[in-house]
Amino acid sequence: MAEEATPTELITCTIDGMVLQVPKGTRIIDAAAQLGIDILHYCYHAALSAPAQCRMCLVEVEKAPKLMPACVTTVMDGNVIHTQSEKSLKSREGTLEFYLVNHPLDCPVCDQSGECKLQDYVAVEGRAMGRLAEPKRIIGRDDFGGDVLYEGDRCIMCTRCVRFMREVAQDERLGVVARGHRMAIDTFFEEGMEGNIWADNVVDICPVGALVSKDFLHKARSWDLDRTPSICPNCTQGCNVTLQVRDDEVMRLKPRPNEEVNSYWMCDYGRLNYSWINRGGRIEAPLVREGERLVPTSWSDALVRLSELAKGAAGGVSAVVSPFMSNEDLGAARRVIAALGGGEGVFRVERGEEIVLPGFPQLALREDRAANVHGAELLGFTRAGDDKGKGGLQNAAVHGGVVFVMGDELADAPADFGTGASLFIYVGHVLSPAARNAHFVLPATTFAEMEGSFTNVHHRVQRFWPALHVPAMARPAWQILGVLLAGVRGVDAPATPADAFSLLGELRAEYGELRFSDLGAQGRPLPRLGALAETMGD
């Protein structure tokens, strides 16, 4: 933890028979983690202070008179530490038995079940049978406001939530009330947690089911969820998340640790704003205009006819794209625009107030409420419209040449949007009234159904992976547009997202210096730009 000015002194210790060298000042729990030993703990959290009050991480250190809490004890030179000795196993078994004195065994109706630390630890190291004959104490449940519900009976008083609100959110709304077995977590009477957009993080860090999300309440069982690493699409921060999916429906978003972007946290706005990903009524087949009607057809038919028409396109392009589309999509759109005679491209984005997380100021709910605004700007698209993500369509609406729309729903577009265009191509998700004016409607996938990357506010390029099935014939926009370009220009179409990503270097050299496969699950900053954005404090 501590970064000392003096060169770090390495010390040697032995943990469970394995010899390890660690810098002086390393805590036992962190040293053990380096060896792949998971020391059980509740109150300790890497991003919070350690009060050493849960007594789960007690380990035996030779020559120490008592068991030592691994979360605060630093390793000393020559320490011989046993995490699985009889003494420490016995201690943990006893501690767990005390936790179960008052913890209800309501796992079948508890949302935490399946990802509950108490459940896990008792299964591994707890007693087979409880010996308690007394009734358990009842505290009941308390609605903390916002998305947080407190189930007091399940609480094991690790105080992670209290410390999160004090140290990270720096809005100390939670406290420990009363003492002894009546102890509970509560806010100041009716104050609640309403209005703090970081409140839901206490649900994530709660090791048991004491703090649960009202949005997720009784919605799915943890073991039924498929977890896909992804990027939160709801602002330019690009928090690393997992999309948790059941039955092809996103059930919830959970933050995924990334020290460079969001640490362990994310905001409630991003977390709870996912229902649009599950939206039905998607376009399921390519549609081609025949007279007044849009007729479904095959991809090859649609794209062959479109590329024939596109070859003769004149009058330049007026494009509207969506900042929810991936870098690869936007790059492909930029190339299509160039191939069809060039022209301007705009995007529209909803804006709001920026709210910084005080304890981790690199993280904020950003003003631009779409993931890839910076990607769109780097790839030559300009901002249009107002702060509600409306308007700004006046040029495209009456453009006489090619109108190209990708991703934008055109919800507020005039009814005659694009009717004057010589060619109107709509690549998108839902068929709004204005999109029905298109000559070609091509169904694209959302970020949750495809592989790709976003560029965040600090120009960090981060990958996401497909979590949902693609609706019918929809395809990633980069693939659709790649094939279209192949038809128009006779170039090879990109076959993989990595191919599509490597083509970005032609539009913006910085992208060319990154390799898709190097981005990994934590992303990489764009060379030069990434550093620039940091110094500008943007």
Q: Does 187 bind other proteins (CB under 8 A)?
A: yes
- Restricted to residues 31-60, the positions that interact with other proteins (CB under 8 A) are none
Pick the stretch among 73-81, 175-183, 197-205, 493-501 that binds other proteins (CB under 8 A).
Answer: 175-183
Q: Does 387 bind other proteins (CB under 8 A)?
A: no
CB of residue 179 to other proteins, shortest distance in Å: 5
CB of residue 90 to other proteins, shortest distance in Å: 31
CB of residue 166 to other proteins, shortest distance in Å: 8
| Mask for 134-173, x = binds other proteins (CB under 8 A) | --------------------------------x-----xx
CB of residue 171 to other proteins, shortest distance in Å: 8
Residues 448 and 466: beta-carbon distance below 8 Å = yes
CB of residue 169 to other proteins, shortest distance in Å: 11
CB of residue 190 to other proteins, shortest distance in Å: 9
Alpha carbon 534 to its chain centroid, in Å, reads 21
Q: Does 98 bind other proteins (CB under 8 A)?
A: no
Please, which residue, 98 or 188, has the CB nearer to other proteins? Answer: 188
Please, which residue, 135 or 180, has the CB nearer to other proteins? Answer: 180
Q: What's the maximum distance between 2 C-alpha atoms anywhere in the chain?
A: 89
Q: Give backbone dihedrals phi and psi of 155, rounded to 5 degrees, phi first.
A: -70, 135
Type of residue numbered 268 = D
Judged by CB under 8 A, which of 25, 94, 104, 175 binds other proteins?
175
Pairing verdict, β 293-296 and 287-290: antiparallel
Please, which residue, 175 or 296, has the CB nearer to other proteins? Answer: 175
Q: Give backbone dihedrals phi and psi of 352, rounded to 5 degrees, phi first.
A: -150, -170
Judged by CB under 8 A, which of 63, 179, 218, 293 binds other proteins?
179
Q: 477-489 and 327-339 helices cross at what angle (nearest 10)?
A: 20
CB of residue 53 to other proteins, shortest distance in Å: 14
CB of residue 162 to other proteins, shortest distance in Å: 8
Bridge partners of 10?
A: 23
CA distance 525 to 511: 10
CA distance 263 to 286: 41
Tell me how many residues contact other proteins (CB under 8 A).
14
Pick the stretch among 51-59, 80-88, 187-195, 269-277 that binds other proteins (CB under 8 A).
Answer: 187-195
Q: Does 195 bind other proteins (CB under 8 A)?
A: no
CA distance 457 to 467: 24
Pairing verdict, β 226-231 and 240-246: antiparallel
CA distance 8 to 510: 36
Residues 240 and 204: beta-carbon distance below 8 Å = no
Q: Does 181 bind other proteins (CB under 8 A)?
A: no
Q: Does 177 bind other proteins (CB under 8 A)?
A: yes
Bridge partners of 21?
A: 12
Residues 41 and 71: beta-carbon distance below 8 Å = yes
Q: Does 9 bind other proteins (CB under 8 A)?
A: no
Indicate the helix (H) or strand (E) that contains 288.
strand 287-290
Q: Report the interface residues with other proteins, using CB under 8 A.
A: 166, 172-179, 186-189, 191
